[in-house]
């Protein structure tokens, strides 16, 4: 595992600092993807804000205090700011590439239209969306196809359904206070039993294959293209 995905809003920056410390002296062994533009509040756990203004992306979002940002391979716009044209946000990110602060840029959770508009401004290396057996939206909304057409690497987050598909934690007792999954309907008490039953099927399939729940089956046909895109990111 050589790709580390983080953000300035994970642990209010502490996760980035942790990544920076972990890579000290061995930076060349990892591909670091970090994100900026999604905001949190110290007073309201559920509040999320967005800031895609160029002055923010060029300033606070890439401030030297962000330990991993200073060594990141790619910087993604964590969420599109509805009040800022995507062309302006991507233009600011492209400037960071030109100045040598990051190697490449990407986007997280965008529509097909936004992806095309962004790609018309500057090269987009990666697009990130939730993708798992529970979350298949990108197969239907065109994002996967658009990324393939544009030669953009697709990065799936929460591929194990935020832990539920991994069978790594008992959810029958509920989630602890402060667990971000309390905001995800999949883990609500009224849905949990049905979803854990579905997730158990993944375990049965894995056992039948003498494999792990997380294992990805070999892919024919497009595998070469996927490897090429991954190589470009590295």
Looking at the fold, whether 60 and 167 belong to one and the same domain comes out as no
The yes-or-no answer on residue 10 being catalytic is yes
Percentage of the chain with pLDDT > 70?
A: 83
Looking at the fold, whether 67 and 152 belong to one and the same domain comes out as yes
Task: State residue 234's pLDDT score.
Answer: 37
Looking at the fold, whether 119 and 140 belong to one and the same domain comes out as yes
Output 220 or 188, whichever has higher pLDDT.
188
Q: What is the DSSP letter of 30?
A: -
CB atoms within 10 A of CB 98: 9
Question: Tell me: the pLDDT tens digits for 135-184?
Answer: 999 999 999 999 999 999 999 999 999 888 987 666 656 678 778 888 88
Domain that holds residue 193: 161-213
Task: State residue 221's pLDDT score.
Answer: 40
pLDDT band at residue 225 under the 50/70/90 scheme: very low
pLDDT band at residue 61 under the 50/70/90 scheme: low
Catalytic residue among 10, 56, 131, 157: 10
Looking at the fold, whether 102 and 84 belong to one and the same domain comes out as yes
Crossing angle of helices 86-98 and 112-119, rounded to 10°: 40
d(CA 24, CA 224): 33
Looking at the fold, whether 66 and 117 belong to one and the same domain comes out as yes
Looking at the fold, whether 74 and 85 belong to one and the same domain comes out as yes
- Say if residues 154 and 232 touch (Cβ distance below 8 Å): no
Task: State residue 217's pLDDT score.
Answer: 59
């Amino acid at each position: 595992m050589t790709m580390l995905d983080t953000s300035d809003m994970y642990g209010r920056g502490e996760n980035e600092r942790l990544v920076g410390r972990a890579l000290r002296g061995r930076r060349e062994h990892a591909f670091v993807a970090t994100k900026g533009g999604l905001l949190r509040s110290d007073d309201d756990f559920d509040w999320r804000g967005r800031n895609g203004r160029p002055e923010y992306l060029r300033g606070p979002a890439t401030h030297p205090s962000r330990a991993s940002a200073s060594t990141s391979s790619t910087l993604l716009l964590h969420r599109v700011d509805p009040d800022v044209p995507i062309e302006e946000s991507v233009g600011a990110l492209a400037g960071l590439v030109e100045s040598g602060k990051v190697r490449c840029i990407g986007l997280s959770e965008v529509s097909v239209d936004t992806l095309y508009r962004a790609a018309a401004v500057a090269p987009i290396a990666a697009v990130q969306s939730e993708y798992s057996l529970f979350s298949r939206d990108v197969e239907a909304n065109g994002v996967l196809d658009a990324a393939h057409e544009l030669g953009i690497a697709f990065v799936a987050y929460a591929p194990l359904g935020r832990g539920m598909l991994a069978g790594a934690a008992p959810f029958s007792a509920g989630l602890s206070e402060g667990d971000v999954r309390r905001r995800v309907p999949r883990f609500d008490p009224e849905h949990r039993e049905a979803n854990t039953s579905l997730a158990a099927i993944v375990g049965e399939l894995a056992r039948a294959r003498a494999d792990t729940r997380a294992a990805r089956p070999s892919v024919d046909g497009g595998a070469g293209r996927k490897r090429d895109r991954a190589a470009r990111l590295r």
